Chains A and B, each alone.
Chain A
Amino acid sequence: MRKRTISSVSSYLFSSTSIPCSMRRLISTLVLGEHKGGIVKPSCLSAISAAGSICNDNSISILLAGSGPSLQKAASHAASSHPSLSQVLVADNDLLTHPLAETWADLVHFVQQKEKYSYIITSSSSFGKNILPRAAALLNVSPITDVIEISDPKVFTRPIYAGNALSTVRYNGLDPCMLTVRATSFATPTLSLKESNSTFAAISQVDLSEFTQETFGKSKWIKKSSPNTERPDLVNARVVVTGGRGLKSAENFKLLETLAGKLDAAVGATRAAVDAGFVANDLQVGQTGKIVAPELYIAFGVSGAIQHLAGMRDSKIIVAINKDSDAPIFQVADYGLVGDLFDVIPELLEKLPVD
């Protein structure tokens, strides 16, 4: 493993550094941060936690890119978001307004050439999965996807075969070691903003004057469309209620939404429910959809295909309601109820305690 000394931390790229003053050799990590509406996404905080679990002497910086006031607001938010964070790097440029992989990968490459981090980490979100492997190719290193455990500075565990096996790999390559981490596997500290003010990270602007984007103009961002939903975010919800093919129609999913409303839960779906057109595909939970690990996961009319289990098997409590007593979902459920969901949901709505 290549380590850097404090003296090699150049200050010409960043206007200030807040790397802890120590004569010991340091590991440094760059976290690629995703932000929206002036807030750093919770999944990035999990990536910082993962970076913190590599070793004690890890100096962690988060890189935020974009343009304008919302970026600067996100930088302030990031600075007080996690006690392990020592520096917030801000790359403010119109080229970076939208998270295009071409621009971002070039930016990561640019920053790495200057600062020589030992690790580059991001969350396994669609943002992280889109950008990190491209940046890894530019840096000629093998990235490691969906890390759920860091047992040694270069030893990582990740699920393979839709979560039906766990693979432990050692990274033997050159710096940087590049990871995407599963957000639900690395807890974020529950600090209030006031408490965390004592660990305020320094904010530095990245000098982009020498940033030449080789892929400029090859891709254009057109638009993003988001379904209107007032439910909590699926990946971060404390409670998730999911419907499968057994829901039978989009109309019946409304019943599930009413229940979700009562439980302050997010609504999820199986691939069968999405393909049948009951709900939008960003609600899909599974190997190819969202990975969730809520405190309570309630599956209605879900058979429990291995691809679906891959997305929810780490939930704390799993409840399954299904007419078929042989459905595989009952093998992973803590509590099972064999019955018609069209009887059970109304009964739950009636009997659930109100806060």
Chain B
Amino acid sequence: MKIMVSMKRVIDYAVKIRVKADKTGVETTNVKMSMNPFCEIALEEALRIKESGGASEVVAVSIGPPKSADTLRTALAMGADRAVHVTTTAPTVYPLTVSKILSALADVEKPGLLILGKQAIDDDCNQTGQMVAGLLRWPQGTFASKVVLDKEKQEVTVEREVDGGLETVCLSLPAVITTDLRLNQPRYATLPNIMKAKSKVIKKVTPEELNVEINTDLEVLQVTEPPKRKAGVILSSVDELIDKLANEARVL
């Protein structure tokens, strides 16, 4: 069985982002970019399944400008076998288009599992996994914190993080899984593997070749900074805190 993992190049999670003065978006020039943290977890899970004998091949996929190849190279250095780069110059590719592209690739690659992160930390959408599962009519295991594959039965059991606890579902393959933070701890790429990754193949395709039209039913009107909270005060004692909460803020 083959596992396909989808990944996104985003502003590094540790960067304090700046909103552009003209309100058209967030400053991305000269800003450190990395693989979306949830995508790292998705790749790690695919690699672990492969290492335990559950899969024969891990294919990494990314959609975006030429620079997205860096993210795929990182994936190859972590242990993915090969990569597919869907190249586009569109400034924004929304989840509906991404899911159509992934669904078209799934038709070609025929993976048994498609693993994605639960959300990208730039647009915070949390949609792509669910949407590609819908398009493919495959079952979905979102917000996964535990994944157990049963190759014999062609089933995967997914423990999901839901409001108020954990839910367990059993999905027949092929299936889509999206990863939550606690699923695993992603590995670092070692230097020998980074060297080896240079000889691995990144295949390039375009959305047009996959017969997918870039959908534009959304238009960003503006991006602004959130309202600032007014500066607070540092108090000197618990007594003062209780007094302020009771008499000034009136929340006690």
Contacts and interface: CB of A to CB of B under 8 A. Distances in A.
Interface string B1-38: 00000000001010011010000001000000000000
Interface of A: 100-102, 105, 125-127, 129-138, 140-146, 155, 158-174, 214-215, 217-227, 233, 235, 239, 271, 274-275, 280-282, 287-288, 290, 295-296, 306-307, 313, 316-319, 325, 330, 332-338, 344, 347-348, 351-353
Given A319-B241, A337-B234, A161 B221 contact: no
Contacts of B162: 126-127, 130, 224, 282
A166 B162 CA distance: 26
B169 to A, nearest CB: 6
A337 B172 CA distance: 53
Contacts of A352: 242, 252
B140 interface: yes
Q: Which of B138, B157, B170, B181: most chain A Cβ within 10 A?
A: B181
Nearest to A306: B16
A352 B242 CA distance: 7
B219 A172 contact: yes
Interface string B221-247: 111111001001111011101101110
23 contacts: A100-B169, A101-B133, A102-B139, A130-B162, A133-B128, A133-B130, A136-B134, A141-B217, A142-B96, A165-B26, A171-B218, A172-B219, A220-B169, A223-B167, A225-B167, A281-B161, A282-B161, A282-B165, A288-B118, A313-B229, A330-B232, A332-B229, A334-B233
Contacts of B88: none
Contact of A165 (B127, B223, B237): B223
A76 to B, nearest CB: 23
Tier of interface size on chain B: 35 or more
Given A101-B142, A336-B232, A137 B131 contact: yes
Given A161-B124, A170-B221, A306-B16, A136 B232 contact: no
Contacts of A159: 124, 226
A226 B122 contact: no
A104 B134 CA distance: 11
Interface of B: 11, 13, 16-17, 19, 26, 94-96, 99, 118-119, 121-128, 130-135, 137-140, 142-143, 145, 157, 160-172, 175, 180-182, 215-226, 229, 232-235, 237-239, 241-242, 244-246, 249, 251-252
Contacts of A239: 251
A333 B217 contact: no
The 5 A-B residue pairs whose C-beta atoms are closest, nearest first, are A173-B217, A137-B134, A226-B165, A137-B131, A133-B130
Nearest to B185: A275
A125 B216 CA distance: 26
B96 A137 contact: yes
A64 B117 CA distance: 29
Q: Which of A102, A135, A170, A336: most chain B Cβ within 10 A?
A: A102
Q: Which of A218, A225, A227, A316: most chain B Cβ within 10 A?
A: A218
Contacts of B131: 133-134, 136-137, 143
Given A167-B222, A226-B164, A287-B124, 20 more contacts: A101-B140, A127-B162, A129-B126, A132-B130, A133-B127, A133-B128, A133-B130, A135-B134, A137-B99, A137-B132, A137-B135, A142-B217, A143-B127, A145-B124, A160-B26, A167-B220, A218-B137, A219-B170, A221-B167, A235-B163
Given A164-B17, A352-B242, A224 B170 contact: no
A172 B216 contact: yes
A54 to B, nearest CB: 17
A144 B218 contact: yes
A214 B22 CA distance: 47
B133 to A, nearest CB: 6
A227 to B, nearest CB: 6
A311 to B, nearest CB: 12
B53 to A, nearest CB: 24
Contact of A225 (B128, B140, B165, B217): B165
Nearest to B100: A137
Contacts of A223: 167-168
A286 B239 CA distance: 30
B237 to A, nearest CB: 8
B204 to A, nearest CB: 26
B215 A222 contact: no
A183 to B, nearest CB: 11
A335 B233 contact: yes
Contacts of A131: 130
A351 B239 contact: yes
A136 B143 CA distance: 19
Nearest to A280: B165
B202 to A, nearest CB: 27
Contacts of A348: 238, 241-242
Given A101-B142, A306-B16, A336-B234, A164 B218 contact: no
A163 B245 CA distance: 26
A138 B136 CA distance: 10
A288 B220 CA distance: 23
Contacts of B164: 226, 233, 282
Nearest to A136: B131
A160 B157 CA distance: 32
Contacts of B16: 164, 306
B249 A129 contact: no
